[in-house]
Amino acid sequence: MPSYERRCDPQPSAALPARRGRRHRALGRMAAVVGLVVAAAVSAPSPAAQAAPTAVALEKVGDFGANPGSLNMYVHRPTTLAAEPAVVVALHGCSQSAQMYADNAGLVKFADQHGFLLVFPEQTSANNSSKCFNWFQPGDTRPGQGEAASIRQMVAHAASAYGADPERVYVTGLSAGGAMTSVMLAAYPDVFEAGAVIAGLPYDCADDVLSAYTCMSPGVDRTPSAWAQGVRDANPGHGGPWPRVAIWQGDNDPTVAKRNADELRDQWTAVHALDQSPDRTSVIGPNSTRREQYLTADGSVAVEVDKVPSLAHGTPVDPGTGAQQCGATGTANFIDSICSSYWITGFFGLDGADPDPGGLPAPSGLAATGATDTSLTLNWNAVGDAASYAVYRDGARVATPTGPPFTDTGLSPASRHTYSVAARDTTGREGVRSATLTVSTTGATAKCWTANNYQQVQAGRATTSGGYTYAKGSNQNMGLFNTAVTHTLKESPAGHYVIADGTCS
């Protein structure tokens, strides 16, 4: 949970840079710096837990850039480092260190096996009294700013100093590190190929102390499109491709409510223009972890959710020497369950295995052949052995015609929609989805919404900062963020909202 230490408010060090000092004083008035306090979430290791592991060899890097977030950088370089190695950034949880995460999480085993470079950013108590990454502070979660920028500079340094491949960069982390993983994927989608969020939060869920508590538990419910818009707003110049995301969540996590796994899924499936129904489900590992996978048009996994039975708040590990075992449990928040690092390494594609899309091939040639104010007609090339097709609009399945063409009706004038199509066999099993097609109906009727400020934010038409609500695009101040203030917002052009009380038509 957010870290409010029940003692005197911390005072900023006189040696702190001005930016850090101002932040520290502001959060001190709230009783301490917020973060995901890992130690409060998990009971002590069981008597059967193994002793502390031998310390992993880490190299501290003293000069990797301007470092606006004032973080430390550590690197684990395997004895046999691959030529142009991939980079995995590993973000520790609260009250942890780079060394603790390296020693216990199990990633080092697979870095040594497969020759990729591990980068361990480390938070300092000067930034956050509980050593949590500041995943909820706007100054640390936007491109080119604060801690997010420091981590980006570490990746750049890895490429220049160690010859790492800038096209194969990945990020994972636990708790506050998991939330910061979401930050890095949203802030730098052009840098990270994929990420794995362990007991973390959706991007842009919180921007202050109070909202951070709500995000963690009971969690915040937004529509998939609203969550996705938060990611797109972080880097509006980026049109794709987007990072792939694995989400790991324990069923018994008392700190980060398990609904956050669903909200993360909603966020990243919507970013990838997919629906929220899994294309494949399976059971993995020694404890029957439930895996849901969401596939892109080429059959690769864009998003997966791994729900771990009986797991509290921590990194799932499985100590031992087996191929699918890793990690240590001698320290709190590394929990004997399943070696998540083994599966995450595979999800990143760093274990040499090939994906298995399966099913019928994707229909080709998806095109719009007609449009009216309220309908769109689609056509595509038929797939052999297909009994029917599934048509998806904006990630949701809307029809299962027996073949093309298909006319989607009941749409709004001047509305924009993204479609994909999958072939279905005689059992109804869907194959790989087609490439997406984005097309608009005709007409120019303006879209208007009347709702209270809370509802406007939840729908993704407005944002909140400092207790106030602002229309997205125009940034007009809509007043206090609550349910008592109501406005009409007009969208013109798409994604740009202005206050239009009593004038929207």
Quote the tokens at residue 256. Answer: 């980060």
Set 175, 337, 341, 415: catalytic member: 175
DSSP 3-state assignment of 16? Answer: coil
What one-letter code names the amino acid at 448? C
What one-letter code names the amino acid at 404? P
| 8 Å CB contact between 30 and 9 | no
For residue 285, the 8-state DSSP code is: T
Q: Quick one: 63 exposed, middle or buried, by C-beta within 10 A (0-12, 13-18, 19+)? A: exposed
Q: Quick one: 463 exposed, middle or buried, by C-beta within 10 A (0-12, 13-18, 19+)? A: buried
Question: What size, in residues, is the chain?
Answer: 505
For residue 473, the 8-state DSSP code is: B
DSSP 3-state assignment of 106? Answer: coil
Angle at which helices 224-234 and 259-271 cross, to 10°: 60
10-18: long-range pairs with CB below 8 Å, 24+: 10/129, 13/126, 16/126, 17/70
DSSP 3-state assignment of 455? Answer: helix
| 8 Å CB contact between 92 and 50 | no
Is 129 annotated as catalytic?
A: no
Quick one: how far is CA 239 from the chain centroid? Answer: 17
Q: Which residue has the tokens 């920028």?
A: 149
Quote the Cα angle for 439-222-212, to 5°: 135
Beta strands 87-91 and 117-122, pairing class: parallel
Active site residues: 175
